[in-house]
A and B are shown apart, each in its own frame.
Chain A
């Protein structure tokens, strides 16, 4: 509506994104794939275990991020992770793992639709507190059910995943993370990406522009919780044993959030990088400090918010807007 009207030049049509953006992701997965074959020496078993839990942490962070992209900053991730773990512990006794795993995730996904539906109108701290309260409700229910059902406060034994073969378990986790990343990329390339971003940045405006907010918010919940539950299955199947207090702990909701923010919100690579750096740092600290090594999570979260609001990804892609994967 000014001079520019007369001179309305044509715009250079830019592609939504280029294949080059996939290179870092490819590198990450390439390294993760060859990791078990590296000459790791005497500590191979230990390192493989750390790598396994790094993959699980990445799955949780990335799945949390997918939900956050739609503006829903959830503290219920532990609930869906836990439902996956418990679902697998119970279902794994009566069916093979490859059936129990998706079924447990499906159950978590469906339960998340209930939470998603009742919290539709909540945002910000209200949403955060409601999701936190939901997690506690789920935990207390599982804890107070008769011990014969879900083990009560003492917890449950879990069928070992893949017969306890550490290498096979690692590759299963690798596969689940790859799947999660592919889902994340598919979202990035689809209308979901635009719907999520619009809802996050202005829900009412999005609706006036025709975005069916309810549908997309619930879709985000389902996808995120399904994937988180797969992470829960991996965790439970690796550790043989789960209990409500640890599985549904606030720490399990906060870790994926911290990881995503540290790595770089609303990206595919960011949460995976964040998980890698934080898991390794945590392990080093755990060995040297023992108690309270989670200090680093708090510090990282604070420093990231204050100094590095776009996380590690912000360092990698200084000053660029859009086009991120």
Chain B
């Protein structure tokens, strides 16, 4: 596995796809996300790591528009989308797979993916969407389950469905929330291949992950969060060498080298 690492100087010449400026989210007395700032460049794979409860999922909810930020701004492909709805962000090129899978339970697997293909991007006709959904099922290894009801899938298959459905929206930026949790090493390796192929087709990927070998293999850059804040940012090597990061992970169940 050759880890392609962007040097900041190289990266800065690239197009910025996602820029968060001081994003914060407060739940009552809890500041779940605090003044988070980062930039993602086109074609880059960015990992967000951090202990449980660090605020990673909440950050993703701010990015995809599930929550409105208490403070801060978000730019997607050069456009300020801070006040925009979830669907507007999706149309603008943001795709998302949820950590807790959310299939449409009464639809078939194929219909689930069709919804993403049909509404994720303007101007896709129903036959086109159905066709694209079949293609994606093949690509994500769900071909044999196309006509099953979504509620009949195993958790692993559900996770693949999450990814397939998000990909169906033809995103420029794909947000993945712990889609590899619970996979066996061989399966995780295949997932890594899938993310690589997604990147190869010109999509920037932002993923949350606990499995450190996956982060090492995939991430061009890593953002470490702790207690709602960005603790460190840099290459995998840099952040794992950072004493603050090591301290934050000490005593947590996951450890840094799970």
| Residues in A lying within 8 Å of B, measured CB to CB | 1-5, 8-11, 13-14, 16, 189-191, 194-195, 197-198, 201-202, 204-213, 321-322
- CB proximity of A121 to chain B, nearest CB, Å: 13
* Chain B contacts with A in 123-178, Cβ cutoff 8 A: 126, 130-131, 134, 137-144, 146-149, 156, 159-160, 163, 165-166, 168-169
Most A C-beta atoms less than 10 A away, residue of B104, B114, B120, B165: B104
Interface residue? B90 (CB, 8 A): yes
- CB proximity of B211 to chain A, nearest CB, Å: 13
A209 touches B165 (CB 8 A): yes
CB-nearest residue of chain B to A201: B104
Interface CB pairs A-B, < 8 A, 26: A1-B159, A1-B187, A1-B191, A2-B183, A2-B187, A8-B141, A9-B143, A10-B138, A11-B110, A11-B138, A11-B146, A13-B131, A13-B134, A191-B126, A194-B111, A194-B114, A194-B115, A194-B119, A202-B102, A204-B86, A208-B65, A209-B115, A209-B168, A210-B169, A321-B149, A322-B111
A11 touches B187 (CB 8 A): no
A198 touches B104 (CB 8 A): yes
With A190-B126, A210-B119 already in contact, the answer to whether A322 and B108 are too (CB < 8 A) is: yes
Chain B interface bracket (under 10, 10 to 19, 20 to 34, 35 or more)? 35 or more
Interface residue? B26 (CB, 8 A): no
- CB proximity of A71 to chain B, nearest CB, Å: 11
CB-nearest residue of chain B to A321: B149
Interface residue? B216 (CB, 8 A): no
A210 touches B141 (CB 8 A): no
CB-nearest residue of chain A to B131: A13
| Residues in B lying within 8 Å of A, measured CB to CB | 64-66, 85-87, 90-91, 96, 98, 102, 104-108, 110-111, 114-116, 118-121, 126, 130-131, 134, 137-144, 146-149, 156, 159-160, 163, 165-166, 168-169, 180, 183, 186-188, 190-191, 193-194
Once the chains are docked, how many angstroms separate the CA of A240 from the CA of B193? 71
- The A/B interface has a contact count, at CB < 8 Å, of 133
- 3 nearest A-B residue pairs (beta carbon): A4-B141, A210-B90, A210-B119
A209 touches B116 (CB 8 A): yes
- CB proximity of B199 to chain A, nearest CB, Å: 15
